[in-house]
Structure 1
Amino acid sequence: MIIRKIACIGAGYVGGPTMSVIAQKNPNIQVTVVDLNQERIDAWNDSDLINLPIYEPGLDAVVAEARGRNLFFSTDVNKAIDEADMIFISVNTPTKTYGKGKGQAADLKYIELCARQIASISKSDKIVVEKSTLPVRTAEALKNILENTGNGVNFNILSNPEFLAEGTAIADLHNPDRVLIGGEDAESINALVSLYEAWVPKERILRTNLWSSELAKLVANAFLAQRVSSINAISELCEVTGANVDEVSRAIGQDSRIGAKFLKSSVGFGGSCFQKDILNLVYIARSYNLKEVADYWEQVIILNDHQKSRFAEKIIQTMYNTVNGKKIAFLGWAFKKDTNDTRESPAMYVADHLLDEEASIVVYDPKVSAEQIYRDLDSLGTRSIEENRRLLKVFNDPLDMIQDAHAIAVLTEWDEFRGYDWKLIKNKMKRPSFVFDGRGLLDSSLMNSLNFTYYSIGSNVK
């Protein structure tokens, strides 16, 4: 089976970068990324590449190489489906906010809409690839929809989950640990394998059945999140015993059976995947009456929520049990460095907690817009829109923001924060000057030498 044209439905954090690299590495295959959001598509087609809708290091260069040659971004979904030999589904699968499974199960309405649209438009055989993160057995539902509402064409379903880390997505795509392809039809699997073999060594391309592939994505994210919550649980123990969590992490990370990755304590994990996928895993386990399994994984989320509220409470307690009217400067809003993604960012929850105490918060993030920050805060529904704008202000200059601040809270580990002139910052702040390092980013010796009251997660306040 020869693939000449590919369509990808969904131009978000997964579809855009993934298809850009596939197009870059397969110049003879036409790749069209479609989305109904005209503003997003316009941004992908931005002539100077400055306003791409996603910030990822290296993405602009990949898009520049392939766009207009064999990579296209469009809102004409029907045309892309009709012409494609292979269709990737890369739409959002958020956690349900209604009905059965509310707060845990994945909402598959966009997946079903895609399937019905593919079925109604297709006049030739298609390979349909699940790229979105989906519950196990979703391919079965997809196949039923495609076979029963289509035009008599043959659809083969494959699962090809993404394992990208935002901030390193392009590097991950160029040099993946593995590419996972699950399916039943050997010819369709080989067609998808051939795309990746353009740059990925054969031994890194894993073939499984559909159900193993669908479940593996959820499990991978659950295991990574579990490590974050595990070290964060130890960070609290370190604070009360006098141990240092960084030293503990280094000691256990030297064990080859454990490894050093994802053992950095922090204010908590965020992003679109970890919490959503674990909640989905919990829901699936409960639906099969696996209570102990569900309770085990749910604890990862409980600990993560605890870490965010614990950090906010530490700020309040250290600042003499009141932050009312005090100016607290947030460095960072994105859920991690090198991305403009703010989904489930710890910053918004810490801010929400402090705003409940009538703190005056100012925010600077090098890649997140003021509009996005306010959208995030408003989405929590804790206060009115007017109240959020009264209590929280967004700045474009970190030094202007810090003027007369009582405290600084580091919420994202942007490299630029480490290189600031902290002596100058100290002179701009009120005394005593507090720094709460939610990412363990700053040099504690420097902070203490400048007489900051400095707190880093997993160590005592000094």
Structure 2
Amino acid sequence: MYPLDINRIACIGAGFVGGPLGAVIASKCSSVQVTVVDKDPARIHAWNSESLPLHELQLAEIISDIREHAEKSTECVKSRLIFSTDIQTAVQKAQLIFLCIDTPTRTSGPGSGFAPDLGNLKRAIEAIARTATDDKILVAKSTVPSGTSQVIRMLFEQHCRPDVKCEVLSNPEFLSEGTAIHDLLYPNRVVIGSQQTVSGKDAARKLAGVYQAWVPPSRIIFTDSLSAELGKLAANAMLAQRVSNINTLGTICEATGARIESVSQICGLDPRIGPHMLKASLGWGGGCFQKDILSLVNATRKLGLDQIASYWESVVWMNEHHKLNFQKRLVSCMGGSIKGRSITVLGFAFKKGTSDTKNSPAISLIRGLLACQAQVIIYDPMVPAKQIITDLHLTPGELERTTISHSPYSACSGANAVVVATDWDNFLCELSRNDEAQPLNWEHILKVMQEPKFIFDGRNILDCDFIRKLGGRYVRVGSPSEWDQLPVASL
């Protein structure tokens, strides 16, 4: 058991990590005041409104409950969760500061295309150090290369007052977009890395005291900072590798006539492998997998471990190859040319449950379809049209052949083919849908489509027999179709 000695916390960065983390701590630790700060006034305004800046299941309800409870309680409780742009006040009051700052891949300078850009993180550390008037515990939630905690400590000491000290902890986040709140409430592990000194371990216990308000002590892992930092990168690299593994096997299935669902089941029932992350798709996306693998590649190259770097880099290139293979298969099934054909893409977010579009497989797919001179209609229930246009970087000619629809039915009307690019529950057939999801009327969609009425299921979520019964030419990832040209195996 670890006592809760912390009662004032600041989260620097009000994005996907900082906002939900602050909300969950405030909801579970009634004696702790949490301030989430960000330099973007528009984002903070959104957090203080009814229209939150990100879509995560249960997030709005948690914040609403905190605010409702505050209205019925004392003035002290009213300030239990604050969203603000005032970093100076938040830092001065906080005993423990979570660093929830994005670390995207560098686009210029040394390590461009591989190394994480730590510029925003370093600027935040400098600002915190200059502002701090008493000792602080800094907790790095951001995904960073192994060794960054030591860099943070040195940077803080260079800019702080002589009488101010800090301990730096590595507490990587293991959140999946769409289920972030569930992941925070019911984590399978909470990793706390620290200096292996008396003061470092004491700081780690204080952070554990916060988590212990709702996390069983058996799930709190104490280690050194280097291992915690590398462990986060390794976890994402291995997850991405697992998805790429099953997708490569899916391509083999398409070429041989085998079925990826059976192959996945055969592999997944082996307890040494397990069933998770063995579902074939048109590729993985999101802001973490690629960024973290490339960071791992950069780190291993700097260590002179070039063969290991190439091994992990191949996971990224294999994912890109798989996305291209999906597009090529689509064109092949439709006769070798899609020029002038109308193709609807259902889904633009990289996965269901989130409006995040970073590295979404839909982006490269749509760009490829437009490069083949197709007419493309896009529908996503959560992603704004402005975001879609921004992500696609269209030329004027491509923009003329692109339509953003606000209805799945108008999007599919007149289409020669429909691609399911995101696994939203309401895209499911009525027979297999989630009870809470409003299903698409696929019978109506097939009626308003034009021949040849292809349905390319990039997420393997539709019922094959159901779609074909309605007259659709159904093609799914990892299984052959009658429109594929299968090679003849030779012995």
Q: What is residue 19 of structure 2 aligned with on the other side?
A: 16
Query: In 2, are the aligned partners of 1:374 and 1:388 still within 8 Å (CA)?
Result: no
Amino acid paired to 1:435: I
Cα displacement string for residues 19-42 of structure 1 (whole angstroms, at most 9, x for unaligned residues): 111111111111011111111111
Which of 401, 415, 436 is the equivalent residue of 2:411? Answer: 401
Q: Distance in 2 between matches of 1:453 and 1:163?
A: 39
Partner of 1:276: 291
Q: Does 1:164 align with 2:175?
A: yes
- What is residue 45 of structure 1 aligned with on the other side? 48
Partner of 1:330: 345
Letter in 1 for 2:274: G
Q: Is the 8 A contact 1:20 1:62 kept in 2?
A: yes
CA contact (8 A) 2:355 2:383 kept: yes
Alignment partner of 1:438 is 2:434:
no
AA matched with 1:409: V
Shift of 1:453: 1.5
> SS at the partner of 2:115?
coil
Give the CA deviation at 1:391. Answer: 2.1
Q: 1:85 and 2:129 equivalent?
A: no
The 5 Å alignment of 1:15-164 reads: 15-46=18-49, 49=50, 51-67=51-67, 69=78, 70-152=80-162, 153-164=164-175
Letter in 1 for 2:12: I
Amino acid at match of 2:254: E
The CA distance in 1 between the partners of 2:256 and 2:378, in whole Å, is 33
Q: Distance in 2 between matches of 1:445 and 1:190?
A: 56
Is the contact between residue 5 and residue 209 of structure 2 (CA under 8 Å) also seen in structure 1? Answer: no
Q: Deviations over 1:387-438 (max 9, x none)?
A: 3432221111110111101110000000101132212111100011011110
Kindly state the Cα deviation for residue 3 of structure 1 after the two structures are TM-superposed: 1.5
Measured against aligned partners, the alpha-carbon deviations of 1:114-141 in whole angstroms (never above 9, x if no partner) come to 1100111111100000011011101111
Q: 2:425 aligns with which of 415, 421, 424?
A: 415
Structure possessing the higher radius of gyration over alpha carbons: 2
Q: Secondary structure at the match of 1:460?
A: coil
Letter in 1 for 2:449: M
Aligned runs of 1:212-227 on 2, under 5 Å? 212-227=227-242
How far apart are the structure 2 equivalents of 1:27 and 1:64? 15
- Equivalent-residue separation in structure 1 for 2:477 and 2:5 (angstroms): 54
Deviates most, 310-319 or 116-125: 310-319
- Taking structure 2 as the reference length, the TM-score comes to 0.91
* 2:450 alignment partner AA: K
Query: What amino acid is aligned across from residue 447 of structure 1 in structure 2?
Result: I
Map 1:177-196 to 2 at 5 A. 177-184=188-195, 185-196=200-211
| 3-state SS, counterpart of residue 328 of structure 1 | strand
Preserved CA contact (<8 Å) 1:182 1:209:
yes
Q: Secondary structure at the match of 1:320?
A: coil
Query: CA contact under 8 A between 1:116 and 1:146: conserved in structure 2?
Result: yes
Return the letter of the residue paired with 2:174.
F
Letter of the aligned partner of 1:117 in structure 2? A
Matching of residues 228-267 of structure 1 within 5 Å: 228-267=243-282
Q: CA deviation at 1:262?
A: 0.3
Give 1:172 deviation, angstroms: 1.0
Letter in 2 for 1:460: P
2:219 corresponds to 1:204: yes
Task: Map 1:325-364; keep pairs closer than 5 Å.
Answer: 325-364=340-379
| Deviation per residue, 1:219-240 (Å, 9 max, x gap) | 0001100100000000000011
Q: Is the Cα contact below 8 Å between 1:81 and 1:87 reproduced in 2?
A: yes
Contact 1:377 1:388 in 2 (8 A): no
Residue in structure 1 matched with residue 386 of structure 2 by the alignment: 371
Residue 305 of structure 1 aligns to a residue in which SS? helix
Q: TM-score, normalised by structure 1?
A: 0.97
Give the gaps of 5 or more residues in structure 2. 71-77, 429-438, 483-491
**In structure 1, distance between residues paired with 2:252 and 2:36:** 48
Q: Please provide the CA RMSD for this pair.
A: 1.1
What residue ranges of structure 1 are gaps of 5+ in the alignment? Answer: none
